[in-house]
Amino acid sequence: MARSLSPTLAAVVEELELDQTPVVTMGLLHEIADRNQLGTHPKVIAARLREQGWLLPTGQRGVWEFAPGAHAGPYGHGDPTMPLRAALAADPDLAAALALGTAAWARGVADRVPTTLDVAVPAGVHVPAGLARTASVTTFTSAIGYTTVKGVPCHRPETVLVHLSAEPGAPRSWGAVAEWLPDLAAEADAQVFAEEVAHRSRSTKVRAGYLLSGMRPNLAAPLASLVGDPVRFGRRTEQLRRHVSTWRVLDSALPVDPTTWEPLR
């Protein structure tokens, strides 16, 4: 596709190129049009830039990915976080963050980014339709807040560990989780983990203790006193893999018994 530029579009693209803008909103096009005193309406500018391959769809209405001239065509940045980035561009106040396996990838402990972005929002937060279509969105409220990784909000290691324990049915593959879980657990700070898990349900705390008992016994030990009635780890529809009496956990999710894992150094 040829990407010719009229003088009006050239002025817009020049600003986008200078700012290295990965995501373009209609509001930004209005600002550029006003700043350059362009007579063409921003909606028309957006339509023409889309037709010529300078703006690519993100799934979020009124938000596009910018394909700069250096890409030599209508090609995106290949940014796996684009669905969340676009949603945040449309609503900067949106409380959403990379979660689970995507957070592990963003933090450098998982080798592969999941094919579908994992995003978590706190309870009660409305999920934009565009994000719901392009990402796997779960509801989980962090007690310790987010950090920024790869330019977007991301769950901390301690939050990922508690999220896994609160919703063991959330991961698409526990086999994949097992590959990066030790490295993630090694980064968890004991005090921050205690803060994140403090006000969770007893079942979540017991599952967290069970999950971390082999790798991080120092994180698991304070939770051992909560062992009581049996707790299920995984979906009830899944076949039971093991019953670990020390934690009274009925495990139908984990591929291996986490209590047998060597403590991390």
Q: Is residue 139 part of a domain?
A: yes
How many domains does the chain divide into? 3
Mark whether 263 and 185 lie in a shared domain: yes
Mark whether 62 and 106 lie in a shared domain: no
pLDDT tens digits for range 183-211: 999 999 999 999 999 999 999 999 999 99
Residue 3 has a pLDDT of 61
SS (H, E, C) 224-258: HHHCCCCEEECCCCCCCCEEECCCCEEECCCCCCH
Separation of CA 260 from chain center: 29
Name the more confident of 134 and 194.
194
Q: Is the pLDDT of residue 2 over 60?
A: no
Name the more confident of 194 and 237.
194
Mark whether 243 and 216 lie in a shared domain: yes
Residue 19 has a pLDDT of 84
Give the domain range for residue 145: 79-155
Q: Is residue 173 part of a domain?
A: no
Mark whether 60 and 136 lie in a shared domain: no
172: three-class secondary structure by DSSP: coil
Mark whether 120 and 185 lie in a shared domain: no
Lowest-confidence pick of 5-14, 85-94, 145-154, 222-231:
5-14
- Radius of gyration for the alpha carbons in the chain, expressed in angstroms and rounded: 23
Mark whether 41 and 112 lie in a shared domain: no
Q: Is residue 161 part of a domain?
A: no
Predicted confidence band of residue 7 (pLDDT cuts 50, 70, 90): confident
The mean per-residue pLDDT over the stretch 87-114 comes to 95
Q: Is residue 205 part of a domain?
A: yes
Burial class (CB in 10 A: 0-12, 13-18, 19+), 128: buried
Q: Is the pLDDT of residue 72 over 80?
A: no
Whether the Cβ atoms of residue 265 and residue 254 lie closer than 8 Å to each other: no
Q: Is residue 128 part of a domain?
A: yes
Lowest-confidence pick of 18-32, 65-79, 135-149:
65-79
Query: Which CATH number covers residue 27?
Result: 3.90.56.20
The structure tokens listed for 130 are 């565009």
Lowest-confidence pick of 44-58, 62-76, 117-131, 170-184:
62-76
Predicted confidence band of residue 76 (pLDDT cuts 50, 70, 90): low
Mark whether 87 and 142 lie in a shared domain: yes
Mark whether 19 and 53 lie in a shared domain: yes
Predicted confidence band of residue 114 (pLDDT cuts 50, 70, 90): confident
The mean per-residue pLDDT over the stretch 82-106 comes to 95
**Residues 6+ positions from 203 with CB-CB distance below 8 Å:** 231, 232
Residue 139 has a pLDDT of 96
* Helices within 3-73 (DSSP H only): 7-19, 26-35, 42-51
Q: What letter does residue 222 receive in the DSSP assignment?
A: G
Q: Is residue 52 part of a domain?
A: yes
Predicted confidence band of residue 75 (pLDDT cuts 50, 70, 90): low
Q: Which residue, of 120, 155, 190, is where some domain finishes?
A: 155
Mark whether 66 and 83 lie in a shared domain: no
In the predicted model, what is the mean pLDDT of the chain? Answer: 92
Mark whether 63 and 116 lie in a shared domain: no
Q: Is residue 169 part of a domain?
A: no
Q: How far apart are CA 113 and CA 82, in angstroms?
A: 13
Mark whether 140 and 188 lie in a shared domain: no
Mark whether 186 and 265 lie in a shared domain: yes
DSSP letters along 68-120, please?
-GGGSSS-----TTHHHHHHHHH-TT---EE-HHHHHHHTTS-SS--SSEEEE
Measuring CA to CA, which residue among 31, 69, 64, 35 is closest to residue 47? Answer: 64
Residue 140 has a pLDDT of 97
Q: How far apart are CA 1 and CA 11, in angstroms?
A: 20
Predicted confidence band of residue 77 (pLDDT cuts 50, 70, 90): low
Residue 74 has a pLDDT of 61
Measuring CA to CA, which residue among 240, 175, 248 is closest to residue 213? Answer: 248
| Model confidence, pTM | 0.87
Residue 96 has a pLDDT of 97
